Amino acid sequence: MAATPRFLFVELTRRCPLQCLHCYYWRRGDSPLRMPQQRLEELLEEYAELAPGAAVVICGGEAMTDPQYLPTCRKARELGLRVLSVTSGVTITTPAIAEQVLREGPHEITVSLDAPRADLHDTHRGLQNAFRRACRALKVLSEARDQIGQGRVYCMGLVTAETAPLLEEWHELVFSLGATKLKLNLLQPTFGFGMLDENWTMLNLEDQAKEFERLLASESSGDQHFAQYAVTDYPALEAVLRRCDERWGIRRNPEFLRSVRLYCEGAAQHRAFGDLHRGWLIQDFTTEPICNSGERNIMVTQDGIARLCFMLPAGRLLERRGDLRRFWEEESRLTLTGCCRPCGISHSVREKSATLP
């Protein structure tokens, strides 16, 4: 176990104005048991004591639509924590909003852009003009950053079999809008699939597997979005990445590329097996672990349940001060040892950074 966690993921909301094909969160409502702001701020205080100067990731749903968003960011800033957030950009519509977000919100804000072309992005996001809104958000945030001299503005790209060949075009667009980095997230199984039941994450591993099997049986096609769009051609992906690295001077981490190769090979193998549609149920997706979430992350749902990773294991309710520290120090990591599930490549949990310092 690491001495202290590096990231606290705080789920503010499960609501979202988009209807992404790779995420089912928009089908869910907020929990009736969501933490009040006072309890959330108490958790942030405890985290600051446990891990001074560490990072808080404000997430959702579309977290920026929640009234707790800026108050939570302000509190974390006051405590000396580094605040990070990813957004679809739909709420950042004017220079004034962008400036307020950079002054009071996250130190680092990342706008999701699933493709460098409007038709692809809008299709995957399930919202007309989502591409235009994301590009506008990147532009006004970058301009506000330059004007006030604070904040980091990045872009997050969802790499699929359809979008991977477009990475050079993608970098051109992102840099032209003023963002200084294009982060890469390879497509994973549909997030939220099998978690529509509010109690799903509290089941033990055996019962989770049974519930997933039931869902796959009831939706006989399974996770067809993942099965169709997962990246399986690693040599082609590596070639375009190396062209981008050479053109823009990106110092790509060779160990990250190795993780990507293992992930693509796993997707290719399971496509050959004909079971890629099983998504989260595949336990041997990579031949070795590429994730270290249990050594650095605490994920807290909006109803106050802490876990060491987004998917597993079942969590622990944080009811009072001291519970966060006890969870970090006492929670078993055995279920994560040797874990090779298809979430290991996620930007939030993978062990190897995509770029070198």
What is residue 12's predicted lDDT score, i.e. its pLDDT? 94
Q: What percent of the chain has pLDDT over 90?
A: 75
Whole-structure pTM value = 0.92
**Which one is predicted more confidently, 336 or 247?**
247
Q: What percent of the chain has pLDDT over 70?
A: 91
pLDDT digits (tens, 9 = 90+) for 90-106: 999 999 999 999 999 99
pLDDT digits (tens, 9 = 90+) for 26-76: 777 788 888 999 999 999 999 999 999 999 999 988 999 999 999 999 999
Flag whether pLDDT at 80 surpasses 60: yes
Rounded distance between C-alpha atoms, residue 255 and residue 227, angstroms: 26
Location of structure tokens 């075009």: 169
Least trusted range by pLDDT, from 148-162, 213-227, 309-323:
213-227
Flag whether pLDDT at 208 surpasses 50: yes
Q: How many residues does the chain have?
A: 357
What is residue 198's predicted lDDT score, i.e. its pLDDT? 47
Flag whether pLDDT at 202 surpasses 70: no
Query: Residue 126's closest CA among 11, 229, 23, 230?
Result: 23
**Which one is predicted more confidently, 26 or 124?**
124
What is residue 206's predicted lDDT score, i.e. its pLDDT? 67
What's at 5, amino acid-wise? P
Least trusted range by pLDDT, from 64-78, 145-159, 227-241, 272-286:
272-286
| Contact between residue 106 and residue 73 where contact means Cβ atoms under 8 Å apart | yes
Query: Left (φ > 0), alpha (ψ -120 to 50) or beta: where does 75 sit?
Result: alpha
- The token pair at 318 is 């944080």
Say how many Å lie between the first and final Cα of the chain, rounded: 24
**Burial of residue 295, with CB atoms counted within 10 A of its CB: 0-12 exposed, 13-18 middle, 19 or more buried:** middle
What is residue 224's predicted lDDT score, i.e. its pLDDT? 87
- The token pair at 22 is 């790779």
What is residue 196's predicted lDDT score, i.e. its pLDDT? 43
Mean pLDDT for the stretch of residues 125-132 = 94
> Which domains occur in the chain, in start order?
7-336 (3.20.20.70)
Flag whether pLDDT at 25 surpasses 90: no
Location of structure tokens 């939570």: 72
Mean pLDDT for the stretch of residues 301-326 = 87
What is residue 221's predicted lDDT score, i.e. its pLDDT? 67
| Contact between residue 292 and residue 352 where contact means Cβ atoms under 8 Å apart | no
Eight-class DSSP state of 278: G
Eight-class DSSP state of 29: P
Confidence of residue 24 (pLDDT cuts 50, 70, 90): confident
Query: Residue 16's closest CA among 112, 90, 106, 114?
Result: 90
What's at 127, amino acid-wise? L
What is residue 222's predicted lDDT score, i.e. its pLDDT? 79
Mean pLDDT for the stretch of residues 324-339 = 90
Flag whether pLDDT at 296 surpasses 90: yes
Rounded distance between C-alpha atoms, residue 141 and residue 216, angstroms: 41
What is residue 281's predicted lDDT score, i.e. its pLDDT? 80
CA distances from residue 29 to 25, 61, 189 in whole angstroms, order as listed:
8, 10, 21
